[in-house]
């Protein structure tokens, strides 16, 4: 065991993983602030530009479990480095793509690398520290995602609005190179891991009713917001009447709200129990989404509503994720990691479905119908939570 693994200080390899998580989180959602500009430059509709979010999420959903299973026996160090190399290449393709088709291909490649990287990330992070610090190690890695929502996404949107939409992808590719170098320098040569079971065996978890209900709550509840969030920039510039630069501030405010929501969700789950915490959070989300058509016409009320929305939307994540782990420990203790990975897939399936639906609505009845579709999706999640009250141990 190396000194870096036994030292009480934080191993530098964890910072490399956190940089990777920051880059990945930024590249997934930075497009939200750039969709109008990208649509104009590429000569496509807002709906078609929105597919860059939808299909990225679908690539994560389909690619994470399948590619993770196929690469299950590869050394973790080499796989992590290779995935960041693919991630970097995908962002470079997006930055230089002459047209929409190649840009979309770059996004799909990046999405697959994203999904697999987070599937193996916890194993890699915990290998760097003593077992007593494994939770801290995973939290530090995933802190990169949180910082991405607060800093990376709004800053990337700001850069794209001033230097062109290709610039953020170049910046993220540079971060990919930095994280890759850190992984090469600081990850141990050998990282112990137990190869996961085959994909067919993993899919059996979806037949567990209690897990399946939580996955549905994730897909409908968390995904609901992206019916609107994917098209936040044209909504605010076209209806609220603010500048594209102001949208960057809105994204930063939303990012701060996600951090508060994440902390709030964990606290509610501990104090109220999982079911009541889900009911409380989903009810708050439905109210916030239903208020959007009435607050969107005024910048002040829209910013207030945006903050409340962000708190409740991301308050769901820790409640459901903790629930999935708790249920998996009861029904399939040998597959807790796989069960957790399926919940990540459910998050992204929700993003795909909701953003795709949002695009259909934007192209059809109009952008102001997207909040009502989001309310409907969140209401489905609330109904599932109420129906399965005896199964969610809340």
Question: For 76-96, what is each residue's pLDDT tens digit?
Answer: 899 999 999 999 999 999 999
Per-residue pLDDT, 4: 41
Examine the domain organization and report whether 222 and 122 are in the same domain: no
Examine the domain organization and report whether 25 and 154 are in the same domain: yes
Examine the domain organization and report whether 208 and 346 are in the same domain: yes
- Res 291 pLDDT > 70: yes
The span from the CA of 117 to the CA of 242, in Å, is 37
Quick one: 48 exposed, middle or buried, by C-beta within 10 A (0-12, 13-18, 19+)?
A: middle
- CA 78 vs. chain centroid, Å, equals 24
- Domain count of the fold of the chain: 2
Cβ neighbours of 330 (radius 10 Å) = 11
Q: Name the CA dihedral angle for 168, 172, 173, 179, rounded to a multiple of 10 degrees.
A: 170
pLDDT bracket for residue 6 (50, 70, 90)? very low
- pLDDT digit string (tens) for 345-384? 899 999 999 999 999 999 999 999 999 999 999 999 999 9
The span from the CA of 385 to the CA of 24, in Å, is 31
Per-residue pLDDT, 3: 41
> Residue 67: inside a domain, yes or no?
yes
Going by C-beta distance under 8 Å and a sequence separation of 6 or more, which residues neighbour residue 184? Answer: 81
The span from the CA of 163 to the CA of 169, in Å, is 11
Examine the domain organization and report whether 110 and 210 are in the same domain: no
Write down which residue in 129, 159, 191 finishes a domain: 191
Distance between first and last Cα of the chain: 42
Residues 166, 42 contacting (CB under 8 angstroms): no
CATH label of the domain that carries residue 264: 1.20.1250.20
Examine the domain organization and report whether 187 and 222 are in the same domain: no
Per-residue pLDDT, 354: 96
Q: Which two tokens stand for residue 28?
A: 């997934």
Examine the domain organization and report whether 79 and 228 are in the same domain: no
- Residue whose structure tokens are 């409908």: 220
Going by C-beta distance under 8 Å and a sequence separation of 6 or more, which residues neighbour residue 253? Answer: 303, 306, 307, 310
- Residue whose structure tokens are 């990208």: 38
- Residue whose structure tokens are 């995602």: 145
Examine the domain organization and report whether 22 and 170 are in the same domain: yes
Examine the domain organization and report whether 97 and 160 are in the same domain: yes
Residue scoring higher pLDDT (74 or 160): 160
| Cα–Cα distance list, 240 to 40, 127, 158, 290, 299 (Å) | 20, 48, 19, 16, 6
Per-residue pLDDT, 219: 96
The span from the CA of 263 to the CA of 326, in Å, is 19
Residues 60, 49, 353, CA angle at the centre, nearest 5°?
45
Per-residue pLDDT, 218: 94
Per-residue pLDDT, 389: 57
| Residue closest to 5 by CA, chosen among 189, 128, 137, 133 | 128
Q: Which domain holds residue 44?
A: 12-191
> Residue 7: inside a domain, yes or no?
no
Examine the domain organization and report whether 182 and 244 are in the same domain: no
User: If DSSP codes are grouped into helix, strand and coil, which group holds residue 115?
Assistant: helix
- Res 135 pLDDT > 80: no
Quick one: 143 exposed, middle or buried, by C-beta within 10 A (0-12, 13-18, 19+)?
A: middle
| Cα–Cα distance list, 48 to 44, 101, 189, 269 (Å) | 6, 11, 44, 38
The span from the CA of 34 to the CA of 334, in Å, is 43
pLDDT bracket for residue 5 (50, 70, 90)? very low
Examine the domain organization and report whether 179 and 244 are in the same domain: no
pTM: 0.86
User: If DSSP codes are grouped into helix, strand and coil, which group holds residue 243?
Assistant: coil
Examine the domain organization and report whether 80 and 40 are in the same domain: yes
Q: Name the CA dihedral angle for 201, 24, 309, 317, rounded to a multiple of 10 degrees.
A: 30
Cβ neighbours of 75 (radius 10 Å) = 14
Examine the domain organization and report whether 180 and 207 are in the same domain: no
């Amino acid at each position: 065991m190396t000194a870096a693994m036994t030292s009480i200080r934080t191993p530098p390899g964890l910072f490399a993983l956190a940089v990777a998580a920051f880059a990945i989180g930024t590249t997934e959602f930075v497009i939200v602030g750039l969709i109008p500009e990208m649509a104009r430059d590429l000569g496509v509709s807002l709906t078609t530009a929105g597919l860059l979010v939808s299909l990225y999420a679908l690539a994560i959903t389909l690619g994470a479990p399948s590619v993770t299973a196929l690469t299950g026996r590869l050394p973790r160090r080499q796989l992590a480095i290779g995935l960041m190399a693919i991630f970097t290449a995908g962002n470079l393709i997006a930055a230089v793509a002459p047209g929409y088709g190649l840009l979309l291909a770059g996004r799909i490649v990046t999405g697959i690398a994203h999904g697999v990287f987070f599937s193996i990330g916890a194993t890699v992070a915990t290998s760097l520290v003593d077992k007593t610090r494994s939770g801290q190690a995973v939290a530090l890695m995933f802190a990169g995602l949180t910082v991405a929502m607060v800093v990376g996404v709004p800053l990337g949107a700001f850069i794209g609005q001033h230097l062109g939409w290709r610039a953020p992808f170049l910046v993220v590719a540079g971060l990919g190179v930095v994280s890759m170098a850190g992984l090469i320098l600081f990850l141990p040569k050998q990282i112990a891991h137990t190869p996961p079971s085959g994909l067919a065996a993993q899919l059996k978890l979806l037949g567990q009713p209690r897990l399946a209900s939580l996955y549905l709550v994730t897909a409908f509840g968390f995904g609901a917001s992206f019916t609107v969030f994917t098209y936040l920039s044209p909504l605010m510039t076209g209806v609220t009447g603010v500048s594209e630069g102001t949208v960057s501030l809105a994204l930063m405010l939303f990012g701060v709200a996600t951090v508060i929501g994440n902390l709030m969700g964990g606290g509610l789950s501990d104090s109220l129990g999982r079911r009541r915490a889900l009911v409380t959070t989903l009810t708050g989300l439905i109210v916030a989404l239903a208020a959007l058509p009435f607050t969107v016409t005024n910048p002040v009320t829209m910013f207030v509503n945006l903050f409340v929305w962000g708190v409740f939307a991301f308050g769901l994540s820790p409640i459901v994720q903790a629930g999935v782990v708790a249920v998996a420990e009861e029904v399939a203790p040998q597959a807790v990691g796989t069960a957790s990975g399926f919940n990540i897939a459910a998050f992204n399936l929700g993003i795909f479905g909701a953003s795709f639906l949002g695009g259909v609505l934007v192209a059809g009845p109009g952008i102001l119908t997207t909040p009502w579709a989001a309310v409907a999706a969140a209401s489905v999640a609330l109904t599932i939570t109420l129906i399965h009250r005896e199964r969610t141990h809340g």
